């Protein structure tokens, strides 16, 4: 059965389930708490239901299982996705219900994320017999890595991607749209490699993100929350690792990488000089405070996301 069916089912489930979930989130008072350190215009978003990432997480999982080959690759990708989603869910719960704006301690999330990624690496090198070769973008080369270095790469890919998506999720629809672009691209890579279980999962994820995006566009009626950003990052990382395209993920997800780099550079610059290099980090807030409307920032970064995806597509076939 064509993986495209999962795209349609993922979209339909997320689109249809959202009207039922939103009243529940409101009744449970799972509303977003906007910190006053961000742009003042964002304070109006306080109270908007969050944790909506559960929508596309459940929808993508159901669609992938319904239409994809249910092999070990799919179960491994789903396990890593849900594992990261649960980290985000705990973070959301602490922020929203316990009223702690910073959520779960960063070192706690980091420690759990490392353990989860190490478990993923153990499965990849053990039962899945994935091998330690990694494709080098824009070349025909396969980098044969030492198992220890390969494990480090898996951990770095998992942590970097989940945190990058989390940092990018600051404007209505931004991370959702970018995630959709990358998911479709990696589904195409999976089809080219004949790995239809991951192709189905990628398309299911893209469809579910599309259904969620209808409600997440400005002005957002629901936010994905950390459960969504961590799950989305985990899913993209898992697909990339299992296709041996970890390095390609940097090219395809250039906006995620730039957003993360903007935070790192801002912190380093401030510690060295006592001044801010950007008006505010991540980059999307710098652009907002420069006078751009939120929607203009989102559309421009989506365009950059499309261009980087096109570059990655070309790099795959070079």
**Residue at 14 is within a domain:** yes
**Residue at 289 is within a domain:** no
**Residue at 318 is within a domain:** no
Q: What is the per-residue pLDDT for 33?
A: 62
**Residue at 179 is within a domain:** yes
**Residue at 279 is within a domain:** no
Q: What is the per-residue pLDDT for 40?
A: 59
Average pLDDT for consecutive 10-residue bins of the chain (318 residues)?
Answer: 88 95 81 60 72 95 94 97 97 85 88 97 94 92 94 97 96 97 98 96 98 95 95 98 97 97 95 92 93 95 98 93
**Helix ranges restricted to H, the chain:** 4-27, 53-67, 72-96, 106-125, 147-168, 174-192, 196-216, 225-242, 246-252, 254-273, 283-289, 294-317
Q: What is the per-residue pLDDT for 117?
A: 97
3-state helix/strand/coil string of 9-75 = HHHHHHHHHHHHHHHHHHHCCCECCCCCCCCHHHHHHCCCECCCHHHHHHHHHHHHHHHCCCCHHHH
- What is the pTM assigned to this prediction? 0.94
The residue range of the domain holding 55 is: 4-249
Q: How many domains does the chain have?
A: 1
**Residue at 183 is within a domain:** yes
**Residue at 302 is within a domain:** no
Contacts of 219 (CB under 8 A, 6+ apart): 172
**Residue at 38 is within a domain:** yes
């Amino acid at each position: 059965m064509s993986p495209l069916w999962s795209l349609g089912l993922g979209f339909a489930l997320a689109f249809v389930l959202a009207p039922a979930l939103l009243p529940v989130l409101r009744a449970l008072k799972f509303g977003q708490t906007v910190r006053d350190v961000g742009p003042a215009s964002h304070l109006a978003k306080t109270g908007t239901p969050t944790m909506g990432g559960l929508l596309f997480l459940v929808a993508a999982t159901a669609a992938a299982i319904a239409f994809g080959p249910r092999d070990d690759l799919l179960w491994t990708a789903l396990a890593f996705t849900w594992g990261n989603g649960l980290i985000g869910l705990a973070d959301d719960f602490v922020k929203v219900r316990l009223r702690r704006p910073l959520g779960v301690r960063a070192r706690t999330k980091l420690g759990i994320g490392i353990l989860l990624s190490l478990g993923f690496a153990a499965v990849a090198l053990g039962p899945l017999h994935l091998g330690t070769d990694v494709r080098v973008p824009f070349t025909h080369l396969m980098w044969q890595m030492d198992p220890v270095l390969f494990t480090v790469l898996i951990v770095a890919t998992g942590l970097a991607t989940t945190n990058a998506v989390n940092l990018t999720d600051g404007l209505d629809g931004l991370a959702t749209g970018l995630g959709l672009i990358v998911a479709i691209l990696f589904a195409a890579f999976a089809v080219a490699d004949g790995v239809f279980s991951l192709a189905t999962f990628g398309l299911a994820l893209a469809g579910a993100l599309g259904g969620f995006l209808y409600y997440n566009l400005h002005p957002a009626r629901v936010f994905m929350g950390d459960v969504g950003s961590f799950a989305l990052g985990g899913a993209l990382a898992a697909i990339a690792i299992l296709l041996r395209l970890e390095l390609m993920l940097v090219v395809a997800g250039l906006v995620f990488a730039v957003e993360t780099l903007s935070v790192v550079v801002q912190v380093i610059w401030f510690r060295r000089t006592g001044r801010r290099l950007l008006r505010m980090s991540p980059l999307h807030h710098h652009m907002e405070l420069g006078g751009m409307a939120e929607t203009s920032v989102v559309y421009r970064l989506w365009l950059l996301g499309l261009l980087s995806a096109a570059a990655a597509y070309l790099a795959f076939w070079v």
